[in-house]
A = this chain, B = another copy of it.
Amino acid sequence: MNNDLNQIRIFCQVAQLQSFTQAAESLEIEKSTVSNKVSQLETRLGVKLLQRTTRSVKLTDEGAQYLKFCQQAMHQIELGEALIGDMQQQAVGHLRVAVPQNFADVMASMVVVPFLSEHPKVTLEMQQGAQNVDLIKDGFDLAIRASFSEIDDSSLIYRKIYQSQRIFVASAEHVAKFGNAINIQQLREQPYIASFAGERNDTSFNQVYVDGRWHTLQARFTVNSIAAIVQSMQANLGFAIMPVTMVRDKLASGELVQIAPQVKLTDSVIYLVYPSRKGQPAKLKAFIDTLVCWGEKMMLKNHR
């Protein structure tokens, strides 16, 4: 290559150390390379930068002038790389996260608050309902997905952080009124409160796999918030499908009760999706850690 920037680094080193040999050693290259690169640079610029005897190396007038600029340039690059190093070690900068519609409220209290207080130099942007965004194109650092069918997309890292059994739950009053259903047919006759995970026509959350085929429950009421569903159940609007962990406390206190335990549902699984595992900035590592930690805590709660 004619216009080789490495010539400049090498020239700087020679000029600074006043020696081709020492420059070669410090850069861990051959002195013949040093000699050639400096010659190339001189030829390209059309100026002799260094006057050299076999015994001494001195800057020419032009070389001294040029060196100043080169040294500043090298310094700028050093500063830049130091900054990158810092960003790798310390969580700083802006983080854009895509979360499913029905997860915002769960995240806010249990993840966002502790994360932001632990990492004061990070700013967080959480975009709800951006379930199927293109991480790279739309500039997200991370997405949380609650898909039940795993999507295979190379170049993206999928990481399961949470898996929980889902159950049918309702208020005690609801059970008293409709009876405790024991199969899918009976459930379909009871009012159902649906959630949707992502896109408008995404019905995966409302599908029940029984006897080798999928049954879709028709919803009386649909809302994209876990908290709203719980409240609706307590208002006796109907039964719902919930991850066990989400309603563990309500079940313990008797506010909600499980119905149709014989009917098995697929698990609720939460994935983290992010582009490329290597070269993660510290801010992303930190957020992933927080999420993984949260997932583990939730799972423990489940199996307690």
Chain B residues near A76: list those with CB within 8 A.
Answer: 69-70, 72-73, 76
Given A56-B137, A70-B77, A83-B65, also A279-B46 (CB < 8 A): yes
Contacts of A141 in B (CB 8 A): 61
Taking a contact as CB atoms under 8 Å apart, the answer to whether A80 and B87 are in contact is: no
Within 8 A of B (CB), among A36-60: 42-43, 45-48, 51-53, 55-56, 58, 60
Find out whether the CB atom of A48 lies under 8 angstroms from the CB atom of B80: no
The stretch of A4-12, A16-24, A97-105 in contact with B is A4-12
User: Nearest CB to that of A94 among chain B residues?
Assistant: B61
Q: In the bound complex, do residue A281 and residue B5 qualify as a contact, i.e. CB atoms below 8 Å apart? A: no
Given contacts A52-B136, A94-B61, contact A79 B69 (CB under 8 A): yes
Indicate whether A84 reaches chain B with its CB closer than 8 angstroms: yes
Q: A32: shortest Cβ distance to chain B, in Å?
A: 15
- B87 touching A47, Cβ below 8 Å: yes
Contact call B45/A281, Cβ cutoff below 8 A: no
Assuming the contacts A5-B9, A6-B1, asked whether A279 and B48 have C-beta atoms less than 8 A apart, the reply is yes
Complex CA distance for A65 and B83, rounded to whole angstroms: 8
Are A62 and B84 in touch, CB under 8 angstroms? yes
Assuming the A-B contacts A47-B281, A76-B76, A88-B47, are A93 and B137 also in contact, with contact meaning beta carbons closer than 8 angstroms in the complex? no
A9: nearest residue on chain B (CB-CB)? B5
Q: How far is the CB of A211 from the nearest CB of chain B, in Å?
A: 43
Q: Which of B52, B73, B136 contacts A51 (CB 8 A)?
A: B136
* A47-B87, A48-B275, A73-B74 known; A68+B42 contact, CB < 8 A: no
The residue on B at minimum CB distance from A66 is: B80
Q: State whether the Cβ of A261 lies closer than 8 Å to any Cβ in chain B.
A: no
Is the C-beta of A139 less than 8 angstroms from some C-beta in chain B? yes
Instruction: Assess whether A81 is interfacial by the CB under 8 Å rule.
Output: yes
Taking a contact as CB atoms under 8 Å apart, the answer to whether B83 and A66 are in contact is: yes
A303 at the interface (CB under 8 A from B): no
| Residues 208-244 (chain A) with a chain B CB within 8 angstroms | none
| A200 in the interface (beta carbon within 8 A) | no
In whole angstroms, what is the CA distance A299 to B281 when docked? 75
Instruction: Please give me the residue from chain B that is nearest to A84 by CB atom.
Output: B45
A278 within 8 A of B: yes
Task: Give 19 CB contacts A-B under 8 Å.
Answer: A5-B77, A6-B6, A8-B77, A43-B278, A46-B278, A47-B87, A47-B281, A48-B275, A51-B275, A61-B94, A62-B84, A62-B87, A66-B80, A66-B83, A66-B84, A69-B79, A70-B76, A72-B73, A73-B76
Give 14 new A-B contacts, CB below 8 A, not counting A1-B6, A47-B279, A61-B87.
A4-B6, A5-B5, A42-B279, A45-B84, A46-B88, A47-B281, A48-B275, A48-B279, A53-B136, A55-B137, A61-B94, A65-B83, A69-B81, A73-B73
Across the A-B interface, give the 3 residue pairs with the lowest CB-CB distance, nearest first.
Answer: A69-B80, A5-B5, A73-B76
